[in-house]
Structure 1
């Protein structure tokens, strides 16, 4: 057989295997026996072994797992993967419906799509010319990790689509219950700890550095949304799901469209009753406005879309005994009481601790040490004590009494007027507050030091290597190598990650400092307004209060922090150690509304931009009051068309949308 014929045969087999994979994993309707699939796979493996030059990136043989990686690369999402607002009752869903109708219009015929909320890990998949090209975890919504090689081992992810298009899709990777049970049998046989639940198992499997391990875990996926795409003709969400299915993606067959909230709520109740019999875990139900035009009109907040909501099923409740109440101290000195329980299974995991929030909650619920109590997981995640079972008391139970001194450092405790929290006032000398502050400083939203998690911070702190955040930048290799489980390679990676964090933009440093009442959004607003730490330090209270979304309490907290001697000394240390003190992102541009070509306008980006990345262009538009969406519609004001603009350009021309070239966009920006 000639090489031409061998290549032709290899392509024929790949086409057949892609089709059989789609039938088996997406449609659950195989057209050939497993033996025929295996025979063709073995034939293809032999051809690619004998002729490596004939192996393609979309070959079904890549699913066995590629080479291991040393770490996962961080990747920015072009469009954020936002979380959803939560509903905990049918009344919450009715309120959501009212809000939607109030914004869209009382006479609008609104449809809702109801989808099962799969308990797994959100993922973005990208295809170029129909070939699977990249895969990234949701991460914090703006930045995830590239897990492409692990995703290629999931057989329900098509390696080649039925059309050669460029597209991004989003879905949920999960571990089926059958795979979960088998994995735990194998782990116990190997002397390993069993997985706690399907979600943890899926997340852990997808973050294995060796794809061959991920390949053995039998993960699955449901695709639930389009990301970046050129399918601008689509009008409804359910229509987009049908197109995704036709392209070869696996979507959930239990997804339905409803014309009213009553029928949707009845379906939710049915799904809740059927939940135990499903072959995968779910932790709720997602409701989305079906019409894409209405989705664009509703828009989103900084955290979540306003056209979707996640209904959380009522939490499973169990009974356990409260053995003790333990106090922990957070980075702001706040004391949090935690119930120590007799271990009990709740929603798939063994629970030995449950939050009690604060002293007032303990008193209001009448909880005593020694009580049997009802335990549940709030939102299926955080264990909490619901109520004591008073009828089971024996008389041996006793009241919890909050101490007058900090259990960590012995300092006085204080409760300010108007607050429910009791705090240790020894902010700089309390070991617990210092330790928690260090953990916060290196966390993902703050300085984002890769590899420096809570356990490592505790290890460094307990060994006396770090006392302040500045000490992180003085760590030496020879000191780290003396610690347990610290090899040369891991130490080098850690020191490199710490060095890289010095270049972070100012807002990450502001957040990392742990100023009370300052969150991620507030830190960014301060960095954008004052641009440098020097300018922020000399800002007056009146200047701080003019920062967007900043109230008196927050401004006072920032002012007090930046005029404290120890804070100023720490900032000087960090600057001397090379930590960046300047804002690196786009600064909001203040333009009179009549002169601002971006204010309150909807933009769409398409094609290849040569002078900047798309996320940079998006940031520039949003900083000037514009909004960027993914598809062209009658609501679009401007299309910015780069090279090879494709169908979005055609659709914009048909709709009479204003079109800018990249050059015109840059000229207007400047």
Structure 2
């Protein structure tokens, strides 16, 4: 659609022109807020406004101008980064929101040219970027910006491990010029860990993974970006010389050959039904990929047909995005309450009128801290926008201020701990969060620490769930809890457990669950049956406690709940120091020398081991037989400075067991293949990591070769590597 002189029949009435101007201004504002990471409406509401504007312009073509939101891509760029003009314009995609709209697009495309095949891929909800390679060397990278000019983020992009600075030319020479388009994102688990770390540091968490990716790429200091676990997948090319592509799938094959990260979930399909089945599959399995998606992109595979079909001023006619229903809804915020975490941080959460979103009914959502409540401008009684994606904790994005009626009220942070009554305060002057300082005796902190010890990222004690953790730390009977603190965990006896009666708490709110009929709080004898005999869960608990004693050192470090010390930092510390004693005695300078350990972690470790009862936990656990040093500590570490990627299913190892076996020998496990990777271990159904290893020339081992690596080291394993020629 392009601007044209109005005819007498086409001239729009004043009321229509006013609505067009109003919509244009509103959409420009929302687009700007979206790209600055501060959206105030959901994607679905934005799409509704855009479709209304498109409808007006279809009826009145004279209103279409170059500045109309329908003719633009993205938003104005930030002034914080130098502008870069893209070699070829980055376009947006038209959307289909139903099977009928998708079918209408197919009919339009196939009426112009016979289509042999479509390429279907997932639409990642991340940040679009543009990379330029000259003779195989990355020379610049930019955000999409307004589609013509983006922001220079070259240094920040280079910190992403997935992105090669130099293309792999071992099998095929790289072209003179190659402009690559892709999506940068934060994987779901990485996003949760990043937000937890930011909140723990008193910083504002990101609203969602998309904003997390954008915020991480817009850091002025690339060293900060380097600490963010960003990933990227490429999905197309722009300008290029020295190479010709016949099909979109041909493009992907060459990009993968040059070492660029390409999704292993795209499919080339020949019939409409196959495309519909692909769409339906990911409608049902939307949260199966490790990143957030908001739909499926369907492209004509044949590049010559793409050229024939052409583009509008903002979108190609040969591709469309099938958008899934939104995972953002609105509901009423009935109250804001607080709970206390394992490190004493007191966190507000919203209590809402129950609403169904992302396939489940939601009543509670996180608000992170009092500053975040104020920043979002949320009042008790507001109608709020709620987001939930998969297993991610529901989050309140902001209020719908237009629906306020004056009855809303501000939230006030309590002055005392809701669990033990201790006066709350900031641990450090610069902290944003308030904390309960009664760390040893606060029943809420004891419960949360014990539950965390049992989590999969720590000692993985399945029988020690939230009900059991509550029973052990704050029973109704007996009056004295069987655990003074977590140091007593491995000294429990069956006799300690049988008399316990406890409330059942909701892990999201720490409030008692109630009987649906009587309304009374639920009370359980979790460990004993009606005859007073041990339940089967008791036997399982003690079996798993014995197994937990053999867990590797890094898991023990995680289980100690030292602030900022998550699995990655714990692995680095365990690999470097090899024993809990060495970590406890290490100076700040020695701790700082460990890769991945920054000043905040160093300070937390020193502060933790300076506390008497913390050191007593370590003493009790050691006396009970908990492993406090790495296997073979003091002896040779066969995999020192060796990075290993494990992909596919191994018959003799679970993924965690393989990871721990590598860490025990001083090695490091990563999730992506690069030129720094020492070995790639492949099991059944290895996926794209095997292909990337072959292309990068990284040694590949089967399970037998992996055992040789663990038993004899890298030199012996090289002799057992798979021939991939």
State TM-score, norm by structure 2. Answer: 0.46
